[in-house]
Structure 1
């Protein structure tokens, strides 16, 4: 076990920013060569760098040059850094101020606007109170929303359990179930934040599509939601509207009113991870939050004949996320500009390498995650260097930086 100092500022000459999934871990299990990579990093710093650096000019250890930026989430930054230290048997190497998760930018940038407003969070049912940790005070999670409105989710097992409780007053949760005739008395939802790939896509997609055509009080609309059913004619691109009453004209009018209300309220739908897939222990792409976003968009357009009007996207490779991370690192280092050389190690060309290249960083692509091509480099988003794994990437960085050190750079 290595013990690192806890001073807040690193050596000023270079930084390393690393992705996590596919570079350091697979499904919360350390990648073997990543374990060795940290030993390489720490040993090279101790043997090759520290003897040449005066403690006055460079008082800090290599840990303070190392940051992580991932499109994953579901934990607080403190929880993630603690977990990473445990997985890699490091004492205080990973630190919450040097850990950037998919929702870090959302938690910090939207706090002032939505601190006390009601937010629906879409996530897995294992997620803790992440938004509350950032300071949000009025948060409802998708599983609570489903249990409050079981009549909205006929195929949900948790919703059906709630239906059963309606007939057993001894098991009812007081104040939890919202009867149909009280929907308009609810506090309106003012934003939907997708912080993780949800456990139940059906429930989450249904809730999102319902809320986006409401004023935030789902089911409390000018239109009658029971009549808003139609089947698209795929050949012509038009919709054939049908309902159990046969009242086609009334249905057309209801849907027109319905569509108009969605434009009026324009509830923001915020995603923090655009990745379609990620790399886990199984050797093949696994769907993640970006795939869920595509599904929701397709369902909404198929149902309502138009695009969702207020989607806000964060995460790699977007410039908004990289700019946010740069600003936060500068605050952490108490400096006006970043060090001269910033290395970014990633496994996904579309998110890691694309984003790093656009941000002016030295991009390093590893072959332990999404990039499994036999090509020497990704053709669409080529990295400045391709390495087999994190260990070889670190060895390259330390050798290169040692040359700069000897040249006084």
Structure 2
């Protein structure tokens, strides 16, 4: 009996002792914490655990890396605070287009075309791009350029009127998923094949191969994403695939000058890694605390973005079954450190494996 009592004391001591190994968590949102607009109940409990409501009474720094977007980071932080019943600050939010702020030094004062919804692409002058135009602007300038729909009257107040015969676009930014593939593919082709970026002009395919190509930047490359529908939906990666196919066909085999951000690209994980380190030091009252790469966990539902990106960067990864990934499709193409039914189960496994 004496030995049993000692064992109970030991178990109680282990459960209440502050762990020494720092942890940090990066969450995908769609398919992990939410399904469309529906907040998963286990997501609220999970973030509560990370705020210290766990057997070790220890807070764990976390942030969100999503290939979604369409809002400013400050607005997204407020929305997530309401969703998860925890105070989320903008520094905890990395959206697909967040890292595209790194392009400001190249395009701050140069005309760029921004593509993507849900209404007007975010970022613009708020990121430091001062000459931003949208598909709505082009359509209002030349309605016949997309004859299958009339210019949207709801966008009239936001339209930036300009004489596009005198503007030379330097780049195209696909900041968020297109809501009108036909129109946006048309306008991307128009600019990519134009004479020095002037809308309404075109050079020959032979000349196109000789000149400097206008670059097009995609905020992410997800082919699929998960919401509250039973099956995954097409994402920005599918839009890019369609645009590339049409571009290659009309240019007799030429390749676009395309650059992709978001997951699984390394630049996004580098950005997240720095933010997590900052959050960890802030939680440690300014002490210089380092978290080992294997103790930074990416929790995601998409093997081709979440898991691939984390594995390539040297983080650990957890794949959940509440989004894109389905067991019926066979083993994931990119092997995670662990697979869990949902985010709550994943975090509990991580804490126990690391701290018990």
- TM category, shorter: 0.7 to 0.9
Contact 1:275 1:291 in 2 (8 A): yes
Deviations 1:82-105 (A, max 9, x none): 100101122x2x221121110111
Cα gap change, 1:342 to 1:129, in 2 (>3 Å): closer
- The unaligned stretches of length 5 or more in structure 2 are 1-19, 282-287
Match 1:365 to one of 319, 325, 345: 319
TM-score, reference length from structure 1: 0.73
The answer as to 2:97 corresponding to 1:95 is no
Cα gap change, 1:332 to 1:146, in 2 (>3 Å): farther
Query: Higher mean Cα deviation, 135-144 or 322-331?
Result: 322-331
Give, in angstroms, the shift of residue 151 of structure 1.
1.9
Deviations 1:257-280 (A, max 9, x none): 344146414111000111111001
Indicate the SS of the match to 1:110.
Answer: helix
Cα gap change, 1:355 to 1:88, in 2 (>3 Å): same
Deviations 1:347-402 (A, max 9, x none): 00111111111111111000000011147x73421111000001111111222333
Cα gap change, 1:379 to 1:177, in 2 (>3 Å): closer
Aligned residue runs from structure 1 range 141-290, under 5 A? 141-158=134-151, 176=161, 178=163, 184=165, 186-214=166-194, 215-221=196-202, 223=203, 257-261=204-208, 263-290=210-237
**Residue 245 (structure 1) aligns with:** none
**Residue 338 (structure 2) aligns with:** 385
Give, in angstroms, the shift of residue 336 of structure 1.
9.2
Indicate the SS of the match to 2:200.
Answer: coil
**Residue 12 (structure 2) aligns with:** none
Give, in angstroms, the shift of residue 301 of structure 1.
1.1
Q: Distance in 2 between matches of 1:360 and 1:66?
A: 17
Indicate the SS of the match to 1:343.
Answer: strand
Q: Distance in 2 between matches of 1:336 and 1:144?
A: 49
**Residue 40 (structure 2) aligns with:** 31
**Residue 49 (structure 1) aligns with:** 57
Q: Which has the larger radius of gyration?
A: 1
Match 1:69 to one of 65, 78, 81: 65
**Residue 82 (structure 1) aligns with:** 78
Contact 2:137 2:160 in 1 (8 A): no
Q: Distance in 1 between matches of 2:84 and 2:240?
A: 33
The answer as to 2:297 corresponding to 1:343 is yes
RMSD value over aligned CA atoms? 2.7
Contact 2:28 2:306 in 1 (8 A): yes
Indicate the SS of the match to 1:275.
Answer: coil
Give, in angstroms, the shift of residue 125 of structure 1.
4.0
- The unaligned stretches of length 5 or more in structure 1 are 1-10, 51-60, 163-170, 224-256, 404-409
Contact 1:41 1:398 in 2 (8 A): no
Contact 2:264 2:304 in 1 (8 A): yes
Match 2:309 to one of 334, 339, 355: 355
Query: Higher mean Cα deviation, 315-324 or 363-372?
Result: 315-324
Indicate the SS of the match to 2:211.
Answer: helix
Give, in angstroms, the shift of residue 175 of structure 1.
8.4
Q: Distance in 2 between matches of 1:193 and 1:273?
A: 11
Contact 1:49 1:402 in 2 (8 A): no
- How many equivalent pairs are there? 328
Q: Distance in 1 between matches of 2:298 and 2:124?
A: 28
